[in-house]
Structure 1
Amino acid sequence: MSKKIFSEKEIKLLSANKYVKSVSSKGITYTDEMKHVFIAERKKGKFARDIFEECGFDVEVLGIKRIKSASDRWQKAFNENGISRLRDTRAENSGRPRERELSLEEKNARLEAQINLLKAENELLKKIRFAERGMRKLTLPPSQKFILIRSVIEKYQLENMVSYLCEVAGVSRSGYYNYFSEKSQKQRELKDEKDEVVKELILKAFHFKGRKKGARQIKMTLAGQFGVVYNLKRIRRIMKKYTIICPIRKANPYRRMMKATQEHRVVPNLLNREFKQDVPGKVLLTDITYLFYGKGQKAYLSTIKDGSTNEILAYHVSDRITMDLATDTLLKLKKNRNFKKAKDSLIHSDQGTHYTHPDFQKLVKKLGLRQSMSRRGNCWDNAPQESFFGHFKDETYIKPCTTLEELKREIKQYMIYYNHYRYQWNLKKMTPVQYRDHLLNAA
């Protein structure tokens, strides 16, 4: 065979010849018609070079060696087996099996496999959409998609369709096989064992003092009570993994705010939302909320909260919403030995009738406190107190109480827990009492 290499220009020239089937830089394939013409003309005594020139070939482009090689090959094949031997049979003898007509059983098997594939694809997509809907439209993690793919493959016996189903689910085939490898399974088992240990500690913090908590509360309780420090993301991951659910505060659309009177007893808003003044006993917040318990029974809770430390300084529970509810809370504040009034301290409330009443205002002056009130109908002016009632209702067990005495015991236990054991993120992760002492020592 000639070692001549065709240039791009020569390849283009040769490809234009009707007797050429294909051409590359190193070789050329002629049509069966060219071979037949060549044999016919050779019988007439013509030379190979002349035959190629008559067929439109440039001898200098092809090269004498390539022409001689082709002519010898074709002549030998013709002499051995005649004209039929000159056919190009490479495509027929490529090693690929010839197509044959399928039997009825084979056709049914193929159709069944196609139907199973469509079913598997449909089921996989449904499962992924359903799972993501439960996650509030977040993307399903690849690990869960791998599990869904395997379940579908096992159900419809589609072991050879892993690549296709991975493409449908939007994950990699290598990731699928890696996830179910022996090494990965051992790593997951080891991780699960560690997570079980962490889960037990988180549950202890979650149920500490019988009050359910969120991730931040758990983090602070672990550090404050158990001396264990965990990353907040880790705590949230474990809570999600083991479905440890904390109560979520919800807005109450039926909350009624007391309408203030138009009398002269309404006082101006001296606080102006400056709740945090880092001085214990300077800003006092008060309000009243209703509590439903037992079988439709109703009680009322009045509290006084320190705006700087969030500590509940005094509270009073009653089954009647009389003036005594507010004034008795003030008297309990007076009896609190841990309460030390700061300079220019004030008590802030809404414009409810209890706080605009002359008896309440006289007692406030007697205690040496200034009085401040929220603007009319504006709950944000007393937001920390409203926030406390929201957490209180989420974290206490009010409804199971059957009597007023039982309700009072539950409230007392919660107030102790809240002041001494409930860590708060915005108090440098301290409890209200710890933060109060911290401010006093820093002064």
Structure 2
Amino acid sequence: MGTRVSYPVEIKQKAVEMKMAGVPVKEIMNELNIKNKTQIDTWVKWYKTGEVHRFEQPVGKQYTYGKGPVYTSELEKLQAENRFLRQQNEVFKKVQGIGKEVDRETAVELVEVLGNTMTVQETCVHLGIARSSYYRWKKDVLKGNLKQYLEKQIGTLCRKNKYRYGYRKITALLRQELCVNHKAVQRIMQKNNWQCRVKLKKRKNTGQPYSVAENILDRNFRSDRPLEKLVTDITYLPFGQKQLYLSSILDLYNGEVIASTIGDKQDTAFVLDTLAQLPLLPENCVLHSDQGSVYTSFEYQEAIKAKGITMSMSRKGTPADNASIESFHSTLKSETFYLNSIDRTTTAIVERTVEQYIHYYNNIRIQTKLNNQSPMQYRQLAV
């Protein structure tokens, strides 16, 4: 460490005069033999803040808490005391409950409010706190405000989507506006019991095989273009006044439900009605189903050939071969009837619930495998 140099008061005053007159710092240092330019900056600061008495301060001497500076006259001392009392009065007007320990939020707010009239150090002196405590508290308050905002946003998204989304999808939605870690989202959702409330229900494999087509799909559920690979199935809707069934056809390209029918009879006419809803299909389109009797019937097979579709069927007792449509039907019931604890309602409500959910599933509900887009958004962007 170098030797600390004590400069006479006259040198300090001369340096300040030259600096205020616009003389370059290097010239001042050379002329007055000053070794460190920061010395000149410090003296100028003292001059501007009215602390010229500090020019006589010995090397290394610092004012400790509770001890004021040495004043050159009684008038200067009175002026400083009046300034201190005015500042203290200004602080007390902002604080409720004088005499009590100030909390960190109030302290941070006060320093910001009084920033135009007082320095951070002066405000901290009146509040009886260290300046380092203020900066630590400020950091904590800012961090706490961000956490509160994030928690509010997560709660809003969970309620908006009726607790159908887990933390991964909530994170994906937040990242459209914020940079957030999925682990933080998961912790907040767990703390507030905002986790996905959907419990997937398995269904039994139904339908008797009559004639079996080859399993062309072979669990290759990926498709590079629309209407290339389709899957279909029937599921039970035992929630109304009578047993209902849902027949649907799903496009593996984007997971969109492109045809659906609700009926009270699980017959060939029922699935033919769903088939008739399909748009114009490209060549080599594959439609995959299970080995249910309605799909192996003569009428259905003739309708398939008329549309130029190649039929594919799952192996017997292997619903995983048609996992995509099985998953959709399970998700539909889990995110509507099971989520809302609907065991028995009217037939009209069951039909309306299914129709509204299919619209929501196609147009609004985001999917991770589609880069957190809905099927309709994914298809439109691809086009």
Say if 2:201 and 2:334, in contact at 8 Å, map to a contact too.
no
Corresponding position of 1:373:
313
Deviations 1:176-208 (A, max 9, x none): xxxxx9999997776554333212211222233
Q: Equivalents in 1 of 2:264, 2:140: separation in Å? A: 55
Amino acid at match of 1:410: T
The structure with higher relative contact order (CA 8 Å, sep 6+) is 2
Q: How does 1:328-339 map onto structure 2 within 5 Å?
A: 328-334=273-279
Q: Is the 8 A contact 1:221 1:423 kept in 2?
A: no
- Structure 1 partner of 2:260: 315
1:400 is displaced (CA, Å) by 6.1
**Matched residue, 1:433:** 376
Match of 1:233 among 160, 168, 183: 183
Give the corresponding residue for 1:304. 249
Structure 1 residue 246: Cα displacement: 0.9
Asked if 1:258 corresponds to 2:206, the answer is yes
Counterpart code for 2:277: K
Deviation at 1:376, TM superposition (A): 0.9
Task: Quote the residue 1:208 is aligned against.
Answer: 160
Q: Is the 8 A contact 2:169 2:368 kept in 1?
A: yes
Q: Which sections of structure 1, spanning at least 5 residues, go unmatched?
A: 1-180, 335-339
Aligned mates of 1:234, 1:349 — CA distance in 2 = 42
Amino acid at match of 2:310: R
Distance 1:190 1:329, change over 3 A: same
Call closer, same or farther: CA 1:418–1:401 in 2, change over 3 Å: farther
Which residue of structure 1 aligns with residue 216 of structure 2?
270
Distance 1:302 1:257, change over 3 A: same
Contact 1:221/1:422 (8 A) holds in 2: no
Cα distance in 1 for partners of 2:358, 2:201 equals 23
- TM-superposition CA deviations, 1:116-159 (whole Å, max 9, x none): xxxxxxxxxxxxxxxxxxxxxxxxxxxxxxxxxxxxxxxxxxxx
CA distance in 1, matches of 2:324, 2:235: 14
Contact kept? 1:211, 1:396, Cα under 8 Å:
no
3-state secondary structure, aligned to 1:207: helix
CA 1:318–1:273 in structure 2 vs 1: closer, same or farther (change >3 Å)?
Answer: same
Aligned residue for 2:32? Answer: none
Indicate whether 1:405 and 2:348 are aligned. Answer: yes
TM-score, with length taken from structure 2: 0.58
Which amino acid is 1:368 matched to? G
Distance 1:280 1:220 in 2: 25
Q: How does 1:166-177 map to 2 (within 5 A)?
A: none
Q: Retained in 2: the 8 A contact 1:220–1:423?
A: no
**Which residue of the partner structure matches residue 194 of structure 1?**
146
CA separation of 1:228 and 1:300: change in aligned 2, threshold 3 A? farther
Amino acid of the structure 2 residue aligned with 1:293: F
TM-superposition CA deviations, 1:63-103 (whole Å, max 9, x none): xxxxxxxxxxxxxxxxxxxxxxxxxxxxxxxxxxxxxxxxx
- SS at the partner of 1:433? helix
Q: 1:241 to 1:409 in 2, by over 3 A?
A: same
Question: TM (normalized to structure 1)?
Answer: 0.51
Asked if the contact 1:396–1:410 (Cα under 8 Å) also holds between the matched residues in 2, the reply is yes
User: Structure 1's 237 and 324: CA in aligned 2 closer, same or farther, altered over 3 A?
Assistant: same
User: What SS does the aligned partner of 1:333 have?
Assistant: coil
Is this contact kept in 1: 2:254–2:379, CA < 8 A? yes
The 2-side partners of 1:342 and 1:211 are apart by 38
* Letter paired with 1:198: L
Question: 5+ residue gaps in structure 2?
Answer: 1-132
CA distance in 1, matches of 2:169, 2:274: 28
Q: Give the Cα–Cα distance (whole angstroms) in 2 for the partners of residues 384 and 187 of structure 1.
A: 49
Q: Deviation digits for residues 233-276 of structure 1, max 9, x if unmatched?
A: 22111101211121243453xx3212433x4x321111111211
In structure 2, the CA distance between the partners of 1:185 and 1:289, relative to structure 1 (3 Å rule), is farther
Aligned residue number for residue 246 of structure 1: 196
Secondary structure of 2:230's match?
Answer: strand
Determine the structure 1 residue equivalent to 2:8. none
Q: How many matched pairs? A: 248
C-alpha separation between the residues in 2 aligned to 1:187 and 1:220?
Answer: 27
Within the candidate set 188, 203, 218, 2:170 is matched to: 218
- Secondary structure of the residue aligned to 2:337 is coil
**Cα distance change, pair 397–249 in 1 and its aligned pair in 2 (3 A):** closer
Contact 1:269–1:374, Cα closer than 8 Å, also in 2: yes
SS class of match (1:301) = strand
- In the TM superposition, residue 211 of structure 1 has moved relative to its aligned partner by 5.9
Bigger-Rg structure (1/2) = 1
Distance 1:199 1:374, change over 3 A: same
Q: Which residue of 2 aligns with 1:26?
A: none
**How is 1:94-173 mapped onto 2 (pairs within 5 angstroms)?**
none
Q: Does the 8 Å CA contact 1:283/1:346 hold for their aligned counterparts?
A: yes
Q: What's the CA shift for 1:343?
A: 2.9
Where do 4+ consecutive residues of structure 1 move more than 6 Å? Answer: 181-189
